[in-house]
A and B are shown apart, each in its own frame.
Chain A
Amino acid sequence: MIDNIPEGHNSLWDSHNPSAYMKNTRRGLDEKLVRFISREKKEPTWMLERRLASLKIYEKMTLPDWGPDLNRLNLDLITYYARAADKPAQSWDDVPADIKETFNRLGIPQAEQSVLAGVGAQYESTVIYHSLKEQFKKLGVVFEDLDVALKTHEELVKKYFMQGIPPSLHKFAALHGAVWSGGTFLYIPRGVKIEAPLQAYFRMNAKGMGQFEHTLIIVEEEAQAHYIEGCSAPRYGIDSLHAGCVEIFVARGARFRYSSVESWSKDAYNLNTKRALVQADAHMEWVGGNFGSNVTMLYPCSVLLGEGASADHLGVAFANSGQIQDTGAKVIHVAPNTSSNVVMKSISKSGGRAIYRGLIDIGAKADNAVSSIKCDALILDDRSVSDTIPRLNVKNQSAVLAHEATAGQLSAEDIFYLRSRGLSEAQASATIVNGFIEPIVKELPLEYAVEMNRLVELEMENSVG
């Protein structure tokens, strides 16, 4: 099926399995499908009602009138639900062989052995594997497939689900509310601190697929954890859609880091919505790497609700040929003495378009808010484009806010120096680009930092000559 793919991007992410389970699916979305999803998952009535309410909002809303043009995305051709496995396994031995092989190639089981506290793996619309090390279970940590958590921790899910991201936020949030499936539920009890990261990996396999996993994370008071998401899909030459949601509730005094490395195929629309509600003296960190996809629209948002809350947003976006990476950060300062720090790096190459789009909103009651935003763009050739579109709203005179952005190219002197040390031009360019994104990469665990550097090297292939 992988026809007409140009040479130069032969990464493992482009391989795919046969998808017999797709025989029982259909394209397009209507109330019947929404009811079918809910019935198949044996959901409580309140969840079906929320799905149907979201569907109504979705049908009324128009596509966003800002950001990249999404009119080419034919939503009628998307398959909104495909069940690849009956239930999540707790041992990799119980995962179907072809699916297991995919995750083997992505290195997930190995990472679980060596560095992770827990792992979730989703394939199409369903979670196929979930596990948490025993020591954390004993501390009361819950790390489940969200479909499972809806049964085992219904009250918690009911209390928080789509309260941070209301379906009315935009059309794709509403779509998500109607057809969400799978995802992660993570609950860190009060005072529990987990040093090792927890990871979920989301994989779209079939062509024309839509993936709508929901990540719901509740970090109780004084707790601390780090969660990583990875995403990928093979390329078919037909649009696929990823419209996941990540909701994080960070209670008083807690610290939470959410990292993601997204490497979608170059025919995927990645329209993800991520938002954290941060209470007093709590701290939220977003670390993100965006690679691949046809169009990405992703602006993780921190809402600083409690006094002394703070947020860091660190991100890298790489826009290669034919890609639009429209990424950024939003921070809404609601309470006094809140602070935020945004550092974004983008690289555009071979006609790619990298856009930083951001919002800092300092509310009337956010006395003494402090915010710093720094965006740097590298434009690697004269066919590529870089846009920086920050928006700064200040409604409080005591705010101190600083935004700084620069754009430029690779330094000829730096390349000359590295070539004089024996590197090829391509290696020199990749080395400089890796140095450019180093302030972000160093915030990732070693294994993921290596992966991000490797992704940069893959994107830099054929960059010269």
Chain B
Amino acid sequence: MVKRIIQATEKEIKVPAGTKVLLWEDIGSFETKQKIPARRKFLIAENCIVEHIVIVHGKNQKAIKQTRHLELGRGSRLRSAEISLGAAKLEWQSNSRLADRADFTKQVLFYQSASDELQVQDNYVFTGLGARGQFSVSGVLSGAARARYFSDLAIKAGAQKTETRIDLKLFLLSKEAQGSLLPGLKIAANDVKAGHSASTFRLSAEELFYLSSRGLPEEQIKSLVIRSLVDNFTGHLSAATSRREVGKIFASYFPEQRQ
């Protein structure tokens, strides 16, 4: 699979019909000083196979705001992995439209700490017959971070045989962290399978006690939670090189995760 690195200032990315490509997108990287466009469009034509990795690590960024539009063409398959590693303020809206038999799988992992604020609005619109969408979002909040994650699955009239699902999971690792989840389903076709789930988790007193009794301080236990999510996330990336590179970014962000 050909790797294509998306440049910081690119506004429109076109993938011609029948292409196999790995799109690599690094937003707010430590090296990048160029201005990121407020809007970015992805046009994936018919019968493509695309892997798309998006990394947002805005440790040095005050605010990142972006609206993204994605058109996934008939019969195309897109595997997307989005990693967001904090920014003082991150506003992210993505609008995706899926044509007939398009197949979209997306995994999102975000980590917000200190007084970071995250607001995400993911809109997925199914317009064609027999499309499929599987979306999984895991978020970790520590410090006094705030997150609002909204996600809408809309199945238009005529988009029969659609199968889609979104799962939102939120881990709050501190008393001051707060999160809102709003997973919406809007269905105007009857021969569909659609679902969503949203859940928040905590480390139970028993789990904390068990791990503490093994000599692990609470901070390290929280690191282990993050690590398990990261491992789970990278495990889903298809290319070994992608797994290595994403692993490196995580390691640089969470030095305590290094072996």
Contacts and interface: CB of A to CB of B under 8 A. Distances in A.
A407 B194 contact: yes
Nearest to B177: A397
Given A382-B157, A409-B190, A388 B184 contact: yes
Contacts of A389: 182, 184-185
Nearest to B174: A397
A386 B187 contact: yes
A404 B167 CA distance: 9
Interface of A: 364, 377, 379-409
Interface string B175-213: 101111111111111111111111111100000000000
B15 interface: no
B187 A403 contact: no
A397 B180 contact: no
Nearest to A373: B198
B160 interface: yes
Contacts of A397: 172-175, 177, 202
Given A394-B178, A397-B177, A387 B185 contact: yes
Contact of A379 (B177, B190, B201): B190
Contacts of A398: 202
A384, A393, A407, most chain B CB atoms within 10 A = A407
A392 B181 contact: yes
A402 B187 contact: no
Given A407-B195, A408-B192, A409-B191, A386 B182 contact: no
B200 A394 contact: yes
A416 to B, nearest CB: 16
18 contacts: A382-B158, A384-B190, A385-B187, A390-B198, A391-B180, A392-B182, A392-B200, A393-B179, A395-B178, A397-B172, A400-B199, A403-B196, A403-B197, A405-B183, A405-B196, A407-B185, A407-B194, A409-B192
B125 interface: no
Contacts of B175: 396-397
Contacts, number: 109
Contacts of B182: 389-392
A387 B187 contact: yes
A406 B177 CA distance: 29
Interface in B13-60: none
Contacts of B189: 379, 382
A388 B188 CA distance: 12
Contacts of B170: 394
A181 to B, nearest CB: 37
Nearest first, the 8 closest Cβ-Cβ pairs linking A and B are A397-B172, A388-B185, A379-B190, A406-B195, A403-B198, A392-B181, A402-B199, A401-B200
A387 B156 CA distance: 12
Contacts of B177: 397
A188 to B, nearest CB: 35
Main DSSP-derived SS at the B contact region: strand
B196 A380 contact: no
Nearest to B155: A407
A402 B199 CA distance: 4
Given A392-B181, A394-B172, A394-B178, A399 B202 contact: yes
Interface of B: 157-158, 160, 170, 172-175, 177-202
Contacts of B196: 388, 403-405
A401 B199 contact: yes
A392 B180 contact: yes
A397 B222 CA distance: 13
A322 to B, nearest CB: 16
Contacts of B193: 406-408
A448 B82 CA distance: 50
Nearest to B152: A389
A364 B185 CA distance: 28
A403 B183 contact: yes
Contact of B184 (A364, A387, A393): A387
A377 B180 contact: no
Contacts of A393: 178-180
B184 A408 contact: no
Contact of A402 (B157, B191, B192, B197): B197
A442 B194 CA distance: 26
A382 B160 contact: yes
A408 B186 contact: no
B187 A379 contact: yes
A392 B198 contact: yes
A390 B185 CA distance: 9
Nearest to A357: B184
Contacts of A400: 199-202
A172 B98 CA distance: 40
Given A401-B199, A403-B198, A405-B183, 4 more contacts: A379-B192, A394-B172, A394-B180, A400-B201
Contacts of B202: 397-400
A406 B184 contact: no
Contacts of B197: 402-405
A405 B185 contact: yes
Nearest to A395: B178
B170 to A, nearest CB: 7
Nearest to B188: A385
Contacts of B184: 387-390
B172 A382 contact: no
Nearest to B171: A397
Contacts of B179: 393-394
A19 to B, nearest CB: 40
A250 to B, nearest CB: 26
Nearest to A361: B180
Contacts of A385: 186-188
Contact of A386 (B185, B200, B201): B185
